[in-house]
């Protein structure tokens, strides 16, 4: 089986649920605690490509920092990526990467689809 990577936040129930599913299926996972080690701009761009998303779609709009930085009307992709690198709490989670595809495992069925 291909190497699977998860951008994981142990404090997030959705992220823990994804880890549990992966463990139950006996899948060896490369865990990236992205809040401790923020992804680079290149890594974030690569994940966005695999997710087939714009940076604005990956933002956690409910976070205080989103409101503090007034990101609602920011549309510049490069600027949003730089902000997410600086404030990784703004990155939606959990992101599971398998080869050239990735999903945000919300709902968990998206992860199950990726694993098929």
Answer whether 30's CB lies under 8 Å from 80's CB: no
Task: Inform me whether the pLDDT recorded for 76 exceeds 90.
Answer: yes
CATH number of domain containing 110: 3.40.30.10
Express each pLDDT in 77-92 by its tens digit.
999 999 999 999 999 9
* pTM summary value: 0.92
Task: Inform me whether the pLDDT recorded for 2 exceeds 70.
Answer: no
**Tokens coding 115:** 């694993």
Tell me how many domains the chain contains: 1
Annotated catalytic residues are 12
Give the structural domain span for 49: 4-115
Express each pLDDT in 40-74 by its tens digit.
999 999 999 999 999 999 999 999 999 999 999 99
Distance CA 12, CA 25 (A): 20
């Amino acid at each position: 089986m291909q190497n699977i990577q998860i951008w994981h936040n142990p404090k997030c129930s959705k992220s823990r649920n994804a880890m549990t599913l992966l463990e139950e299926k006996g899948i060896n996972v490369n865990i990236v605690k992205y809040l401790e080690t923020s992804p680079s701009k290149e890594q974030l761009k690569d994940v966005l490509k695999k997710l087939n998303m714009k940076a604005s779609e990956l933002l956690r709009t409910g976070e205080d920092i989103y409101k503090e930085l007034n990101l609602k009307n920011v549309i510049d992709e490069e600027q949003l990526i730089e902000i997410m690198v600086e404030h990784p709490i703004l990155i939606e989670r959990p992101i599971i990467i398998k080869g050239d595809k990735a999903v945000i495992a919300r709902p968990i069925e998206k992860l199950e689809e990726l694993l098929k």
